[in-house]
Amino acid sequence: MVVMVGKKVLAISGSPRNGNTDAMLKRVLDSARESGARIELVKLCDKNIEFCDGCDRCCKAHHCHLVDDMQMIYKKIFESTAIVLGSPNYFNNVSALIKNFIDRMNPYYEDERLKGKKVATVCVGGQSYESIKYCEQALEQFLRICSMKLVGKVWATADARREILENEKVMQQCFELGKKLVEE
Ligand SMILES: Cc1cc2nc3c(=O)[nH]c(=O)nc-3n(C[C@H](O)[C@H](O)[C@H](O)COP(=O)(O)O)c2cc1C
């Protein structure tokens, strides 16, 4: 049973470092907290998450047989009223951490609890939008397949570890995104 008390915004970071993605996600969460929501950041790199083994049993069973930290992340996703997914752009795509997270969502892509759930995306790469757009699109395809509701997105160019903190415009966009995730 999923119990939702008030608003809860969950951020999921696919960066393996404490860099630009995390800085942007933290700004989104700060704003969501100011708007009255409970918040949580999950860094996929800190979790024990096995690769999807393609067993395909989840298509019928609607749960994953792998016993690892994804089980706790599923619960957090269902208990959240809104989610923000963040990925660095790696080779014009999401990071491997995010791709494996997406694959491990296979048991639930038709789950009623995901339908219409509010989600925002944050993508950052060292190059221009011409490169970053594919990362954004990969996240959007996942949300579309799961029938989740994309309520906003922020993308940014930054390469050095916490360079994005100097970009006030982008950090303000992240702040606005946080409000949007908490609004009705
Ligand atoms: C393996 C790898 C591949 C990358 N590929 C791209 C790329 O194709 N396009 C791009 O814009 N930036 C690329 N980058 C740069 C990162 O997206 C950039 O440094 C970003 O700020 C990293 O985010 P983070 O600080 O949250 O980890 C790549 C970085 C790494 C480590």
Ligand 1, CB cutoff 6 Å, lining residues: 15, 17, 19-21, 88-92, 124-127, 131-132, 158-159, 161
Report the atom number in ligand 1 closest to the C-alpha of 161: 25
By C-alpha distance, which of 119, 116, 122 is closest to 153? 122
Tokens 């997270």 -> residue: 101
Report the atom number in ligand 1 closest to the C-alpha of 164: 21
Q: 8-182 belongs to which CATH class?
A: alpha beta
Report the atom number in ligand 1 closest to the C-alpha of 132: 11
Report the atom number in ligand 1 closest to the C-alpha of 21: 26
Q: Which of 91, 92, 98 to mutate to test the pocket of ligand 1 (most atoms within 8 A of CB)?
A: 91
- Alpha carbon of 67 to ligand 1 centroid (Å): 30
**Spatial distance between the Cα atoms of 136 and 71, rounded to a whole number of angstroms:** 25
Q: Whose CA is nearest to atom 29 of ligand 1?
A: 90
Q: Which of 128, 159, 166 to mutate to test the pocket of ligand 1 (most atoms within 8 A of CB)?
A: 159
Domain edges within the chain? 8-182
**Spatial distance between the Cα atoms of 4 and 82, rounded to a whole number of angstroms:** 11
- Alpha carbon of 132 to ligand 1 centroid (Å): 9
pTM of the model: 0.97
- Alpha carbon of 44 to ligand 1 centroid (Å): 17
3-state secondary structure of 20: helix
3-state secondary structure of 103: helix
Indicate if the alpha-carbon torsion angle 137, 81, 60, 63 is positive or negative.
positive
Question: Could you list the pLDDT tens digit for every one of the 184 residues in the chain?
Answer: 665 679 999 999 999 999 999 999 999 999 999 999 999 999 999 999 999 999 999 999 999 999 999 999 999 999 999 999 999 999 999 999 999 999 999 999 999 999 999 999 999 999 999 999 999 999 999 999 999 999 999 999 999 999 999 999 999 999 999 999 999 7
